[in-house]
Structure 1
Amino acid sequence: MNAHEMYQDLKQKIIDEILCPGQWLVERELSEQYGLSRTPVREVLRRLVTDGFLDLKPAKGYTVRELTLKEIIETFQAREAIEGMLVKFACQRGDEQFFTRIAELRQQLEHVDIEQQKETGVLIGIELHDLIAETAKNALLLEFYQKLKNLAAITRNITKKSTTIEQCSKAEHLFLMKAIEEKNGEKGEQHMRAHLRETCRRLVEDYVIVQGGL
């Protein structure tokens, strides 16, 4: 295994919560586990810090990042601003292939039973958001989106545990895709912003319940 493969493996384990928030990662143990010297292991860990998946504790080491309530709220506020603009541009700049794929995703999602196929609904949502970002054809917004995507992946661990949140996301994604198919950028932006705002609100409610109140 090379350093890139190690990075991808650790990243996925963090997203899937095989490595749990707050868990310590030890260079020596990782070096033995992945069959790499300490130098590339250290580079991978530093990259995971830069990408938002790990925290570096001075003189202590690396831990899996645990998002605070403030960070969750700020992530969704940033996503609302950026992705609202992205969907507006995507409606203006999308080609026939884009709108065809949006229609296909909508039809697929309509037939998803979230209680039985929650992961399928999550994957359709990920493709939808990525497709919008790529189609908007704005390099700077896409760069911001990709940076936020790492934090979004961590927050998704929380949302996909809640059937209620995913059921609401399904309905909101369907409204969003219908607006895109109509090539209505203003309406699409409104639906995207409302979707992210409501998801954040539900996440905060769940966070407070889990923490036993603030």
Structure 2
Amino acid sequence: MVVAKKTSRSADSVDKVYEKIKSLAIEYHFRPGERVNEMELSSQLGVSRTPIREALNRLSQDGFMNFVPNRGFYSRDLTPEGVRELYEVRMIIEQATFRFACLRASDEEIARTTAIWESVSQQQGKERSAEEWASIAEIDEQFHMEIARISRNSRLYEMLESLNSLSRFFRRIDLETPVRRNNAYDEHVEIIAALRQRDVEKGVVLMEQHISLSAEHAVEVTKEGLARIYIGKK
């Protein structure tokens, strides 16, 4: 019994360390391609290197780190190709979750889901600060995750949750750009209408238009992301 308790505490410790390092990785506190100093992390988080190493291994499996044998862990890269690929995969998954939500969700579930974004749409056109756009990005993510939840496919939900973590840094930047600001509200209104009408085919097309990222825009998002990482631009 004692061993079981120790094992449980150890697993809990790794989970906490994992979440702390993951939050740093999401926001690129480790610069792209930077080698992660395990000793510094151990000191910073006040834990031994064992949970640090286990957490980094998990983060490597989840795409937040790159492991190089005999050299250690390195922060994920930031490139236009990588950003675009994340958006492409997310688009495919969200098209699937929309389809299943239309087929499986109750009217009540759809009403609760659409209400998440409608609270934001009432303030369309208002001038917003960077902090407010960050909050809107969170609501946007919550709205799309709720569509995934009511699709009643746990695998798709977990995949989308993982992709959201990997792309959260870019997503916020993307939503702050003028082209996205101008289109985000109208696109959400159309997606909500299609969901209420359970119009699968229209919704799938709308999701592609809403999520897809052109090669040119991926370059812009990447440049802005690098500026924020290296020179602290906000």
TM range (shorter): 0.7 to 0.9
Aligned length: 210
Q: Which of 33, 39, 46 is matched with 1:35 structurally?
A: 46
Cα gap change, 1:207 to 1:107, in 2 (>3 Å): closer
Gaps in structure 1 of 5+ consecutive residues: none
Q: What residue number does 1:204 align with? A: 218
Q: What residue number does 1:79 align with? A: 90
What SS does the corresponding residue of 2:32 show, helix, strand or coil?
A: coil
Q: Does the CA-based 8 Å contact 1:158-1:203 persist in structure 2? A: no
Normalising by structure 1, report the TM-score: 0.83
Q: Which of 190, 194, 203 is matched with 1:179 structurally?
A: 194
Task: Give distance in 2, aligned partners of 1:82 and 1:137.
Answer: 13
Q: Shift in Å at residue 195 of structure 1?
A: 0.8
Normalising by structure 2, report the TM-score: 0.77
Q: Deviations over 1:41-99 (max 9, x none)?
A: 10001111111111123332222212332222222222222211210110121123322
Cα gap change, 1:103 to 1:77, in 2 (>3 Å): closer
Stretch of structure 1 that moved more, 183-192 or 200-209: 200-209
Task: Give distance in 2, aligned partners of 1:195 and 1:203.
Answer: 13
Q: Shift in Å at residue 209 of structure 1?
A: 6.1
Task: Give distance in 1, aligned partners of 2:117 and 2:176.
Answer: 22
Q: Deviations over 1:157-191 (max 9, x none)?
A: 54255344344333322321222122222221111
Cα gap change, 1:177 to 1:201, in 2 (>3 Å): farther
**Residue identity opposite 1:165 in structure 2:** R
Q: Does the CA-based 8 Å contact 2:17-2:51 persist in structure 1? A: no
What SS does the corresponding residue of 2:112 show, helix, strand or coil?
A: helix
Q: Cα RMSD between the aligned structures?
A: 2.6
What SS does the corresponding residue of 1:25 show, helix, strand or coil?
A: coil
Gaps in structure 2 of 5+ consecutive residues: 1-11, 227-234
Find out whether 1:55 has 2:66 as its counterpart.
yes
Q: Which of 102, 110, 113 is matched with 1:102 structurally?
A: 113
Q: Does the CA-based 8 Å contact 1:17-1:157 persist in structure 2? A: no
Cα gap change, 1:90 to 1:114, in 2 (>3 Å): farther
Q: Does the CA-based 8 Å contact 1:30-1:41 persist in structure 2? A: yes
Q: Which of 5, 28, 31 is matched with 2:16 structurally?
A: 5
Cα gap change, 1:203 to 1:61, in 2 (>3 Å): farther
Identity of aligned residues (%): 27
Q: Shift in Å at residue 207 of structure 1?
A: 4.8
Task: Give distance in 1, aligned partners of 2:222 and 2:59.
Answer: 28
Q: Which structure has the larger Rg over C-alpha atoms?
A: 2
Stretch of structure 1 that moved more, 104-113 or 43-52: 104-113
Q: Does the CA-based 8 Å contact 2:33-2:76 persist in structure 1? A: yes
Q: What residue number does 2:204 align with? A: 189
Cα gap change, 1:23 to 1:163, in 2 (>3 Å): farther
Q: Deviations over 1:9-39 (max 9, x none)?
A: 2211222333333333211111122121211
